Amino acid sequence: MPVVVGAATAWGRAALAVVRLSGDALEPVLAGFCRPLSGRPFSWGRVRRAEFFDANGIVDDGMIFLAKAPATYTGEHTAEITCHGNPRIVQRLLDAAIAAGARLAEPGEFTRLALLHGKLDLVAAEGVFQLAEARTDRGLEIARLAISGTLQADFLKIRSDLIELAADLEARLDYPADELAYLEDDVLLARAAAAGTYAAQIAQTYGAGKVLVEGARVALVGAVNAGKSSLFNALVGRRRALVHDTPGTTRDVLEVVTEIGDLTVTLLDTAGERVTDDPIEAAGLALARELVGEADLLVVVLRARTGGPDATETAILERTAGRRRVIAYNGIDREGVAPPPPGAVPISALQDRGIDNLKAEIRASLLAGEPASGERVIASSRQRDALLAVSQLVEEAVEALPIAGPAVAGDALTHAIAEIDALTGADTREEILDELFSRFCIGK
């Protein structure tokens, strides 16, 4: 295997940075740009001071640690160089390593090597990514569940149960005349249903898990002059959006990363909706509709008034009825306004009234169905899709057994087992790996 090299720390100025190399032919590559300051050769399992050079001379001095395969993260010989954290130094070290025969690592390649060498499975590999991305303490806990093998143990328990049930059905087909100790149909159906239900329950934690690990996108939507920009400023805690009574003031989509409770939220202030002949405003509305479709949660802002919602607000409420949303009734500081609609949060963005209640409602909606600490939570859409497929296939098996017989039911269970194998990486296809590791940083 060729030696690959990458920066293992974030790009930018810092006290220290780490450059990682992995590959069987590590020693000749290192000799091309590293030398020990003591004059003694580098040795495996020891940290040594070294200086690093390229064609133009000395680049830096620092520490180098060599670890011998297979007891390494990647399962190959590895070296980790600690240098001063100037991006120019890091870039020159990468260039020097490449000139000495290494290849720049692709995104996630070190973790991919760990997977290919059996150091971890696909679920743990996703946990590594989640550990780097987690925005909350609970998100870190979710990542640790995957890396530690706790989550995989649950998946393998489902697989073990399904294999036993599929074997029972296969035995009925192979030895129909023998008096073997088959499971009673009601027992088999109950156990299969329980496995499918558990798979579905874990899958349903994905929404909350994704928010806890990656954060959420929350879009403010509403009619013109509903006070979205004022609410945007109130939620962010500083003035970022222009507030004016003139309709159509917000034409572009404003986007700010902020905190709501312990959650990291990307807040979107979209253009107010109305019929317009202004091409720029119409383009802003079209962009808003597109980005709103990608949001995890909508905050529908209604303007407090003497009557009920107007035609535009009614249309917005109808259009968003199937989405996860929170309704904010803005302007309760004005006299003579009607009571808020059922379920809406009364606020005054200008006077900062009800904003804490709205934040609490946003957080609760984003984490709806979040299991208690220590329970299984996933933050991978790939895992969610596989678990939902398992649940669906098990349901098909349960329905098929009393009607179509053990052959059809057994086939459905076999396909469910294959889904779990793809989930854990026991049956890994190249396109799955390409999609998974494309999200990693290069040094991981």
Would you kindly state where each structural domain of the chain is located, as residue ranges?
Answer: 4-115, 124-205+377-425, 212-366
Q: What is the pLDDT of residues 380-411, one digit of tens each?
A: 999 999 999 999 999 999 999 889 888 899 89
Q: What is the pLDDT of residues 212-261, one digit of tens each?
A: 999 999 999 988 888 888 899 999 886 544 444 444 444 456 889 999 98
Q: What is the pLDDT of residues 8-56, one digit of tens each?
A: 998 889 999 999 999 999 999 999 999 999 888 899 999 999 999 999 9
**For residue 121, which phi and psi values (nearest 5 degrees)?**
-105, -175
Concatenated DSSP letters of 109-178: HHHHHHHHTTSS-HHHHHHHHHHHH--SHHHHHHHHHHHHTHHHHHHHHHHHHHHHHHHHHHHHHH-TTS
What percent of the chain stands above pLDDT 90? Answer: 55
Length of the chain: 444
pLDDT at 245: 46
What percent of the chain stands above pLDDT 70? Answer: 84
124-205+377-425 maps to CATH 1.20.120.430: yes
CATH topology match: 124-205+377-425 vs 212-366: no
Q: Report the run of H or E that residue 51 belongs to, with start and end.
A: strand 47-54
pLDDT at 336: 78
Q: What is the SS3 assignment for 391?
A: helix
Query: Which architecture characterizes domain 212-366 according to CATH?
Result: 3-Layer(aba) Sandwich (3.40)
Question: Which bin fits 108, alpha (ψ -120 to 50), beta or left (φ > 0)?
Answer: left
4-115 maps to CATH 3.90.650.10: no
pLDDT at 175: 64
Q: What is the pLDDT of residues 124-139, one digit of tens each?
A: 999 998 998 898 889 9
Mean pLDDT of 327-334: 90
